[in-house]
Structure 1
Amino acid sequence: MDQRSKNKLKRKMRKIKKINFIRRIVQLVCFFLLPGLFIQIYTSTKALVMALVNSSFSLQANLLDLAVVLSVYPLTLLLGRFFCGWVCAMGSIGDLLTAIRNGLKIKELKMEGSAGQKLKAVKYILLLFAIIFIWVLQIIAIPQGINPLDAFGVLVSLNNWDLLLSTFLVATILLAAILVLSFFVPRFFCRYLCPTGAILSLLSLPRMLTIKKPRENCRNCTLCTQNCPMAIPLYKTDKSRSGECIECGQCVIGCPMDNCHMQLAGKDLNTKTIGTIAATTIVGLNYIGTISANAVAFESTQTLTMDASQSATASSTKYQDGSYPGTAPGFQGQITVDVTVANGLITAIDEVSNEDTPEFFNRCWNTVTGEIIQSQTTDVDAVSGATYSSQGIMDAVAAALYGQTGTTAAIGESADSILAESKTIDSSSTASSQKSSMSSDAAALFTDGTYEGSGSGLRGETLVEVTVQAGKITAISEISKQDDDQFFYRAWDTVTEEIIAAQSIEVDAVSGATYSSNSIMEAVAAALDLTFENPNSSLQGGHGRP
């Protein structure tokens, strides 16, 4: 190599180091600002699709989800996957592992040829599976503790790492396996597994930005493909708008002939400039959208609080006036709230402390507390993408209210998880209010006493306790169950209340929780020695059966 070529190579290496340094700084900043954004994009998309499928979409309830997707989707549609290449925390960890491997001079595990390209289809298959069975049909739920992204959330929070070896042990093992593979295969998770990447890949296909590399000026070194962390076979084409491209610019800066360019409308772009602008835009839009959505939710909560106070005098008293603290576990630790009751109604819920990741806790706080105040019960929907924090808030409020009311049904199913050790929830006053609608001279239907019965659900046995007073069913308490919480508690309150109201087990199953509904009816029938033919044995599929 002559001196001129050596000087050119040195200049090229300085350029590569400079651009990579700037990208690493941007990635580091984004990692600390928004480590969970790649998870939020997926969960917000899921929440929006499920809201549309269930005809429950509302601008107020889904504003935060809209803010999250709108901070990323338009830019991806216009320019490509800059989020993946410059912002995503999981991608940044993958790049770090690759840099460490290169520094140690350990060989990369090549996933070459058609087999490597076919493996990229796995993430699209996973996304399609999730859309059909989790988002639309809603017949499958991922059990707590096995999703590796949950373990990632705990890991990057730098808090409560003990959960990684207890609650999230399986998730931790899966995450460790992904990270090990990412050490040997650049961007392993991004290439083959990431559902968010699959969404953004499809969304980026019509983008205006192109990687141009005229092959007539190429010396066939294939460095563009070798430098590509997504293993796109760039040497085979003159220009590329592959959905797999994460706009990292490694092909551009690594070309020794300066033959590879990032272009928009035929004009060359500076990789580090466009990447920095794109990342700043995404982070800025996300912060502006999130703050605005939380402000709207806060205003809504304040309005609900005022409405609750104004309507208190016209409503029956549910709770004893006062201020009550309550604590329950969230995603990463304890959530403590202070619940204010005025004129017998919940009028305010204040956060005392929480140990959850702020972006997930804040995502659900205003929505969940607002709905609790509005409905005067903790039996409200969890916010998609912040399920653990949502349930923790409900449980904390239930813990605060337990014992402060004669209507435990108003507390909702959250009390079950807080007071599971007691194996029973007193529903007597709920039954009393429902009994008042019946004829006062109705004949006694059952023999007074307390009875136990069991029924078969989707996962196993449901065991209940039925209380009969004055010849009528007055309370139904859960002793144990084996069905998934998500489906069992969707059915529990509705089915038991309808049984008490009708004084009959001939009530409707709850759509989306058919197996659990039937198991509850069968258990009550067994306790009362009634005939009931459980249709679960004849059903096919899962809880989604109508």
Structure 2
Amino acid sequence: MVKKIKKTQIFRHIIQLIMFVLSPGLFILAFSELKSIYTMIIKGNFNFITAFPTLIEFTTVIIATVFLGRFFCGWVCAFGTYNDFLYLLSKKVFKINFKVNEEVDKVLKYVKYVVLLLLVIVVWTMGSKVLDTTSPWDAFAQITNFPQVLFDYTIGVALLLLITIGALFVERFFCRYLCPLGAVFNILSKIGILKIKKPSDKCGKCRLCTNNCSMGLSLYKVESVCGGDCINCFKCIEACPRSNTKINVLGENVNPELASGVAIAAMVGLYAVNNLGASAVANSGLATASTTSTSTSSTSQKYKDGTYTGTGTGFHGATTEMSVTIKNNKITKVETVSNGDTPDFYARAESTITSEIISNQSTSVDTVSGATYTSEGIINATQEALKKAEVGSSATNTTTTPTASTDDKSTNTANTATTANTYKDGTYTGSGSGFHGGTTQMSVTIKDNKITKVETVSNGDTPDFYARAESTIISQIVSTQSTTVDTVSGATYSSEGIISATQEALSKAKA
């Protein structure tokens, strides 16, 4: 008998591999954003519009999960992909055929709710730092830098090893029994519009759908499944020899390739829309408006108005320099002046930490999971800046590069007389190391204390990767007036070469 080609599974594995390479830390980023929502709620300072720019990933995933089910878990999550391919390896190469007893499996699936509850109580509510060095998903998110991860997350790596062993014997071991984010999705996905329908009158004693279920669901006992532990992998659809198992959306049976393609496209589109919305919120100033609207008349003067800078130590001892703007005794802006941190980790931490500092009017904020040391660098630099701003401090104000639009210049005219220039006018060059060690040389033009032009002088990088990164990185640097920009997915090393070269050029331009 010729085996049927499982087109949906081939498509799924391709998507999984792409997301594994492009966004290995998406799971921990979404989970850390859920933590941010919870901590803001219990502190009584949650404002969705204010927080939205720092909640893009979780917002995207949760909306998609509520309406379409757990496609994120089955198709996108890198930690789920890791579990899938470990089990595939054990089954095809090592010929391991271990099965968990059905009743034992049911009981073990409640463990993930215990894990979630412990995290909420011990870490999120009580503020324990136990996960700072013991989190297996933090270790996984940074595994590309294994020597440092092994040193910083020794217990986390040990737990990751145990999860790896479990995944070799039980399909989706972590997802079934331990995933705290999966516990949340399990509850919220049950109201979705997508169901897997399986009229049992045609099944007889067949157990193929159950035997092929990634999450070990007893499908032979039910007529349909909507969300819950189902991760929409659709293995049951392709395993059914009678084509009895169907995907049903709003009462209509649909093709599995079409359903999965639409779901993935919807997530990508939703992510793009959320990014545009977050940019609009950030640019409109709504994020700071809510924190500055409260009256300060009865507040004792703690800080002097002005802009102050401070430095802190981030990942691998990298120096982070932050500027803090004080107005009417309030922290109104926290920005990066420069950083030598790893761009991926820094981007993960920056927006969340700075937003929480402004929202809380305090540096007593949680670090971002997966970017703990980077977060601490930002927090420490901000603390040093705030110490200079304190009433009674002898430190003098320093003002960073203005980023106001032309329309706003009139409001800043009074302050420019005392503003210290960050950069000297002129054109400066710097070099950095890109893909496969290729040297990138960039020129940066400064005029009126502004970065007006960033150009490539030469590069020994791979042309395809470099072209993918160049225009995006340069435009972001000029528009944000900062080298703290996201790398381009699929051209990370080329992006880092451009950023490093620009940073070196700017260091020569400093006044």
TM over 0.5: yes
Shift of 1:335: 4.5
Q: Secondary structure at the match of 2:214?
A: coil
Check the 8 A contact 1:368/1:393 in 2, yes or no. no
Classify 1:266/1:317 alpha carbon distance in 2 versus 1 (closer, same or farther; 3 Å): closer
Corresponding residue for residue 283 of structure 1: 268
Classify 1:128/1:340 alpha carbon distance in 2 versus 1 (closer, same or farther; 3 Å): closer
Check the 8 A contact 1:349/1:369 in 2, yes or no. no
Corresponding residue for residue 115 of structure 2: 126
Are 1:142 and 2:130 counterparts? yes
Check the 8 A contact 2:197/2:248 in 1, yes or no. yes
Are 1:334 and 2:318 counterparts? yes
Classify 1:201/1:349 alpha carbon distance in 2 versus 1 (closer, same or farther; 3 Å): closer
Classify 1:403/1:342 alpha carbon distance in 2 versus 1 (closer, same or farther; 3 Å): closer
Aligned pair partner of 2:257 in 241, 248, 272: 272
Q: Map 1:1-150; keep pairs closer than 5 Å.
A: 6=1, 9-10=2-3, 12=4, 14=5, 16=6, 18-64=7-53, 66-135=55-124, 137-138=125-126, 140-150=128-138
Measure the CA separation in 1 of the matches of 2:304 and 2:197: 69
Corresponding residue for residue 156 of structure 2: 171
Letter in 1 for 2:186: S
Corresponding residue for residue 351 of structure 2: 363
Deviations for 1:515-544, whole angstroms, at most 9, x for unmatched residues? xxxxxxxxxxxxxxxxxxxxxxxxxxxxxx
Classify 1:43/1:220 alpha carbon distance in 2 versus 1 (closer, same or farther; 3 Å): same
Shift of 1:233: 1.0
Q: Map 1:410-429; keep pairs closer than 5 Å.
A: none
Measure the CA separation in 2 of the matches of 1:106 and 1:333: 45
Q: Secondary structure at the match of 2:48?
A: coil
Q: CA RMSD in A?
A: 3.7
Classify 1:150/1:298 alpha carbon distance in 2 versus 1 (closer, same or farther; 3 Å): farther
Check the 8 A contact 1:202/1:243 in 2, yes or no. yes
Measure the CA separation in 2 of the matches of 1:68 and 1:335: 27
Corresponding residue for residue 239 of structure 1: 224
Measure the CA separation in 2 of the matches of 1:80 and 1:342: 45
Shift of 1:42: 2.4
Corresponding residue for residue 153 of structure 1: 141
Check the 8 A contact 1:298/1:366 in 2, yes or no. no
Could you list the runs of 5+ residues in structure 1 that have no partner in the other structure?
A: 1-5, 308-314, 412-546
Deviations for 1:92-137, whole angstroms, at most 9, x for unmatched residues? 11111122223304213211220111101100122233334444x5
* Equivalent residue pairs, number: 382
Deviations for 1:355-397, whole angstroms, at most 9, x for unmatched residues? 152552243254267579xx6xx73534665654332202134
Higher relative contact order (CA 8 A, sep 6+): 2
Letter in 1 for 2:254: L
Corresponding residue for residue 350 of structure 1: 336
Instruction: Please identify the structure whose Cα radius of gyration is greater.
Output: 1
Shift of 1:175: 0.9
Deviations for 1:162-206, whole angstroms, at most 9, x for unmatched residues? 222211111111111111211221110000000111100111122
Letter in 2 for 1:232: L
Classify 1:162/1:404 alpha carbon distance in 2 versus 1 (closer, same or farther; 3 Å): farther
Letter in 2 for 1:29: I
Corresponding residue for residue 181 of structure 2: 196
Q: Percent identity among equivalent residues? A: 31
TM-score normalized by structure 2? 0.65
Corresponding residue for residue 363 of structure 2: 379
Classify 1:294/1:177 alpha carbon distance in 2 versus 1 (closer, same or farther; 3 Å): farther
TM-score normalized by structure 1? 0.61
